[in-house]
Chain A
Amino acid sequence: MASDVLEKGGPRAHDVVPTFTVTMIVRRFDPEVDNEPRWVDYDLQMHGTDRVLDALHKIKWEIDGSLAFRRSCAHGVCGSDAMRINGRNRLACKTLLKDLDISKPIYIEALKGLPLEKDLIVDMEPFFDSFREVQPFLMSSSKPKDGKERLQSSEERARFDDTTKCILCAACTSSCPVFWTDGQYFGPAAIVNAHRFIFDSRDEGSQVRMDILNDREGVWRCRTTFNCTDACPRGIQVTQAIAEVKQAIMRGKP
């Protein structure tokens, strides 16, 4: 048998963390059938290092194929599967069941504050609209003459490193109480992406973005509740980034 040696491999975490039963309570909503969302229970046999995404797949693949959710990379870099897990915004593919309290049911629902489309899927367009509004691209009137890269020191590069990590999953924005009550607010993710350029030494458009964010629906709506920072699956210091943009606006320069 050709490569069976590689087929069964694994550090056998399954043996270390034994099989367990967990109850998932998922907030289902099918606009073609339901008038309003309903909570549905699923008792599942899960294993060792299984993630919440594995549990959702088990429901979809073995119990009810109509369960709808987004997912792609399944290891926390594409940002598809942000959802509310026990009331907190997290990526389903990055949340291990064993790290939750599996003696109690696990509640799964769609992100709050964005229009619910079906089951765990929300309309992402308002979120991306805010992102696009802050002009999230390098603005520079010139190119280096020698046809090479622009120079940037490691220190200058480090200044905005944290906010380059954003995967646009919307976990931060949809955890923000200001965003819940005022859908016009740009929200943390858009500000994070503005920060990424405002503090990039190569960029010449900081003033434009600071003017945009000095708006009534801009950074001043932030009430520093830190929900966004807690929610970020990439560990970005979101609240701090917002504070830095506020300070830059007050200074009038990055």
Chain B
Amino acid sequence: MAQSEQGELIDGVHYHKHDVVIVGAGGAGMRAAIEAGPQVSTAVISKLYPTRSHTGAAQGGMAAALANVEEDNWEWHTYDTVKGGDYLVDQDAAEILAKEAIDAVIDLENMGLPFNRTPEGRIDQRRFGGHTREHGKAPVRRACYAADRTGHMILQTLYQNCVKHGINFFNEFYVLDLLMTEVKGETRPAGVVAYELATGELHVFQGKSIIFATGGFGKIFKTTSNAHTLTGDGVGIMWRKGLPLEDMEFFQFHPTGLAGLGILLSEAARGEGAILRNSDGERFMERYAPTIKDLAPRDIVARSMATEIREGRGAGPYKDYLYLDITHLEPAVIDAKLPDITEFARTYLGVEPYTEPVPVLPTAHYAMGGIPTTNDAEVLRSNTETVPGLYAAGECACVSVHGSNRLGTNSLLDINVFGKRAGNNAAAYAKKADWVALPKDPTAGVRKLLDHVRSGDGSERIAVIRRELQEAMDRNAQVFRTDDSLREVGDLIKTLRARYRNVQVQDKGKRFNTDLLEAVELGFLLDLAEVVVYSARNRKESRGAHMREDYPKRDDENLMVHTMAYLTGDAESAVADDHIKLDWKPVVITNYPPTERKY
């Protein structure tokens, strides 16, 4: 470990102490670090090198009503976010997101982010799905971008600024437990325990404030734009600690993944004029969203694509994909604005996007749900009570600014706005708070977890269980869901959780034991998939990304509420009913009563 210090070594465990401990070094974690670092002692712990984080794979842009290229304002952005989320968005949070977007973009530019520019030298902006002028009248240019590498530029810029501020990074440290101690009858965070991949040694990080910024869990699905490492560890740790998870049934399927691979092709393509076509060459989105067509929100486009395929209008020899057509765009425009995604099509499918349409299919992309937080990024332990000193931001969190369907370009925004809030609030809290004592034998939980994973009879392969889970989730819990399909995948998860107890870890060593890592990750995937399916079965309506064919209508009267899932009872029981309890949390409504969602 060349980074930072080794900490104090006691009985083979390294002990570190920092005012603010941030778990995760993607956009949200590093944005938080840039705020907290200059104020108080701050450590960032990540299972990857920071520049490997999946923020870097985001492509199209970051929304902010700068009005650099046409009239726009943050109120329109708020409205679009609320409507895009099918009215499950907390409207006060959406207002913060849209208002603070403007400073968030300026902050990044001032930090050095190389945005594309207008002829006047201002930050250029382009169209994106669901972002409109005057409450839905027409698409608006709101996405600030750097070619189709906006996430890459954000990740690099944030890392560069962390280097500038001398932030302490602990890279390839895998956080496996959140330590909680009872203080005056209240459970409070005391630190985290991490497994150092290079050595297999354990580290305890004591912190006054802890921020989780651990990203999503798209690897519960087979076809996904998510990295292999997006296994929901942070969300899973919170769950195992008995903290609630919100709106887990809402998972976004991005319309344009490379067919068969799931690699993302940015919505920016459609923002720049690309058209989705079926086997007849028809621009089918005209039928589903007559006003904004291909720029409808992602849930609507993904469902429309699935419907086209079901009704026999899919393309290709097996009629099982659709086309993204950019052949009418000038190659110079494609090279300037969409260089990476065209390269993906060439590299991975051997398709030349200048002249041929690209085969695409929806791909699991983004968890709208996650760790419930207040607008100040404080983690909630119930509908109203927070856990003092514990924060979450980014995809792992649920504020909720995305409701039941996130708009494109609002996630790069989310990580910046709420990452910054988390960093500032965590630093402020650490300045006034006392240290919370570590529990006795703080690594006991992690040692038990690792022993558990290592101690099975070895009859089950990690990759086999994971593949069965992912295939069943794609088959039964994807764009369309029914009670039957969810029951089927729920039953399978039950058996997989039982089989997981006998998982085989072949690598018995200490150094870079990625076999052990994958086994632990699989445990989190199984836990989270169970909550996703259980919550989805319970929501008997169709809203945003959650489409129940047996309940095709939105039910505002009864179900315009967030799901809150709690782990109760025996976490290892295979039967979900034995250990998951669901509750509801009201949606915050300010200015926008729910209306029918048309585009």
Please give the residue numbers on chain A whose beta carbons come within 8 Å of chain B beta carbons, in ascending order: 1-13, 15, 30-33, 49, 57, 60-62, 64-66, 68-80, 94, 96, 117-119, 121, 123-125, 128-129, 131-132, 135-138, 140, 143-144, 147-154, 156-157, 160-161, 164-168, 197, 200, 202-203
Contact = CB atoms under 8 A, between A and B. Distances in A.
Interface residues on B, range: 35 or more
Contacts of A143: 110
Nearest to A2: B485
Contacts of B433: none
B509 A73 contact: no
Given A2-B485, A129-B2, A153-B117, A11 B349 contact: yes
B446 interface: no
Given A61-B461, A117-B512, A9 B349 contact: no
A70 to B, nearest CB: 8
B480 A80 contact: no
Contacts of A161: 114
B320 A74 contact: no
Contacts of A64: 506
B597 interface: no
A66 B110 contact: no
A71 B510 CA distance: 19
A144 B103 CA distance: 13
Interface of B: 2-3, 48-49, 51-54, 56-57, 103, 105-106, 109-112, 114-117, 119-123, 146, 149, 152-153, 156, 160-161, 163-164, 198, 222-223, 227-229, 259-261, 263, 305-306, 309-310, 314, 316-318, 320-321, 340, 344, 347-350, 359, 361-362, 461-463, 471, 474-482, 485, 504-515, 518, 549
Contacts of B361: 6, 9-10
A117 B510 CA distance: 12
A94 B110 contact: no
The A contact surface, by secondary structure, is loop
A8 B471 CA distance: 10
Contacts of B505: 65
A3 B51 contact: no
A114 B122 CA distance: 42
Given A118-B511, A154-B119, A2 B480 contact: yes
A168 B306 contact: no
B474 A6 contact: yes
B481 A2 contact: yes
Given A2-B485, A117-B511, A121-B512, A9 B504 contact: no
Contacts of B481: 2-3
B552 to A, nearest CB: 13
Given A71-B228, A73-B56, A60 B349 contact: no
Contacts of B149: 164-165
A1 B475 contact: yes
Contacts of A168: 49, 51
18 contacts: A9-B223, A9-B309, A11-B359, A30-B509, A32-B511, A49-B348, A49-B350, A57-B463, A64-B506, A68-B507, A72-B54, A74-B227, A75-B57, A80-B52, A117-B511, A132-B163, A138-B111, A157-B114
A153 B112 contact: no
B114 A32 contact: no
A216 B218 CA distance: 47
Residue among B223, B485, B505, B512 with the highest chain A CB neighbour number at 10 A? B512
